[in-house]
A and B are shown apart, each in its own frame.
Chain A
């Protein structure tokens, strides 16, 4: 059975892909290398993983507001996630998703999503469908 989570659409769009899930806030400035898309923040549970083409699920952003621009650069370099799923949207990630045009949704309990799940995100209706592995 597919599991459906309902949230609040932030940036419109649809995407499906493999979930990359963290329960830790993510700082885009200094946390992710805009030239490779790899998480470089030490002590982060996604350290060393690439966010390219993932459905990136994490609680919320933190750190410098310049982090928004990192999302833009990632998108320009073809390294952006396919969608962003947050527990609670914060201005850094929202602005980043808007300028990079990455579908985004929040008010989702990301602990329901497991690393590696195939998920379908619909940021028109505001749903995340977990299709399993």
Chain B
């Protein structure tokens, strides 16, 4: 029943000679490969696993993951994991019910037992950038679009289970974005809007995700290729749509042709803002760090906060990976002495906001503004980082 070619060694794994954990992982890859017409498996440089936060996944994966662990499953390539529902070291998360924090720790421990690095971040590329041209098996849509578009690595939009199966086997079926013909531009976007901040780029992303579905756009016109802008735009595009990658450099379009041209003007951006932003008097939380902050972003925030104190009635969270947090000790000190918190291992999208007393949130991330009303029943407003920090400092 399989059309996909397997080497003798792969065949043996498929037949269970290395045990159930590898057998079931191989079967997942072969079935997915068959479904999408792959002819073979190809080696991957790294894998990135989603499905870590107990808030978003619940108890569902625990039994399967435990079974993999009992069957001595272990990843064969560098594998990182997405944020969880808690910062394992920050005391504010101790206010959450013990049952849920214990369950969360258990899930992290099982993944770690399988050999997945305790990275707990959606930006594994800040820990180690994927090589240009390398094949990956990454879940987490914002990391996928970043890897394909900015790092020029090659990955499909994996789900948690398929990324994990690839991690155990060290390979992925060769289909979709692993093949050059599927990485062609399928729409040209003419940006006629004035994009003034990272939040505006996020709004462009929200708008484009809706009109593009899973198409691959070349974005030209009034855009800047700054990393933060592209990161925010990509994350948003992958949230409101299924866009797996984008091009932003005209030179890449030379050899490719497409007839579909979509113009975006200021009205489209404003409409996207109206769709995702709510109005409220004061945010309970100001949140920067979706996707998790780079060292550069933490530095920007600390410069804005240096020597100042934030309002007592507003909380400020700066979320980043523990890896970056450890590198940013001086900036962290500045932010925390102003009354903000630098939080790792989690973020406002995948933690229990209501249980932590948060009903309104302001953020510079369009992805967060899109998700938190749906996932946590929390109202959101979008503003650039500078404005967010100004509001946190207002007397």
Contacts and interface: CB of A to CB of B under 8 A. Distances in A.
Contacts of A65: 50-51, 139, 159-162
Nearest to B34: A10
B31 interface: yes
Nearest to A73: B63
A13 to B, nearest CB: 11
Interface stretch (A39-47, A48-56, A93-101, A111-119): A93-101
Nearest to B64: A72
Interface string B57-68: 111110111010
A95 B57 contact: no
A70 B56 CA distance: 13
B32 interface: yes
Contacts of B311: none
Contact of A95 (B1, B56, B162): B162
A58 B60 CA distance: 21
Interface in B236-265: none
A91 B60 contact: no
B27 interface: yes
Interface SS majority for chain B: helix
Interface string A62-90: 00111111101100100000000000010
B288 interface: no
B159 A69 contact: no
Nearest to A89: B35
B31 A95 contact: yes
Nearest to A76: B63
Contact of A11 (B31, B50, B60): B31
Interface in B63-110: 63-65, 67
B31 A69 contact: no
A68 B24 CA distance: 13
Contacts of A94: 31-32, 35
A92 interface: yes
Contacts of B31: 10-11, 94-95, 98
B301 interface: no
Interface string B132-162: 0000000100000000000000000001111
A91 B35 contact: yes
B297 to A, nearest CB: 28
A66 B28 contact: no
A45 to B, nearest CB: 23
Contact of A34 (B50, B59, B165): B59
Interface SS majority for chain A: helix
Contacts of A66: 51, 56-58, 60-61, 159-161
A70 B32 contact: no
B60 A70 contact: yes
Contact of B27 (A29, A73, A98): A98
Given A91-B159, A99-B161, A69 B60 contact: yes
Interface in B144-185: 159-162, 165
Contact of A73 (B35, B64, B165): B64
User: Which of B1, B28, B60 is the most central at the interface, judged by chain A CB atoms within 10 Å of its CB?
Assistant: B60
User: Which of A10, A11, A70 is the most central at the interface, judged by chain B CB atoms within 10 Å of its CB?
Assistant: A70
Contacts of B51: 65-66, 69
Interface string A5-18: 00001111000000
B159 A95 contact: yes
B368 to A, nearest CB: 18
Contact of B24 (A10, A64, A67, A99): A99
A68 B139 CA distance: 15
A61 to B, nearest CB: 11
B30 to A, nearest CB: 9
Nearest to A12: B1
Interface in A1-36: 9-12, 29, 34
A68 B161 contact: yes
A67 B160 CA distance: 10
A9 B57 contact: no
Contact of A99 (B35, B57, B64, B160): B64
13 contacts: A29-B57, A34-B60, A64-B57, A64-B159, A65-B159, A66-B57, A66-B61, A66-B161, A69-B57, A76-B63, A92-B159, A94-B31, A98-B24
A-B pairs, top 6 by smallest CB distance, nearest first, are: A65-B159, A69-B61, A69-B60, A72-B64, A68-B161, A66-B57
Interface of B: 1, 24, 27-28, 31-32, 35, 50-51, 56-61, 63-65, 67, 139, 159-162, 165
Given A10-B31, A73-B59, A99-B28, 8 more contacts: A11-B31, A29-B57, A29-B60, A67-B60, A69-B63, A73-B64, A91-B162, A99-B24
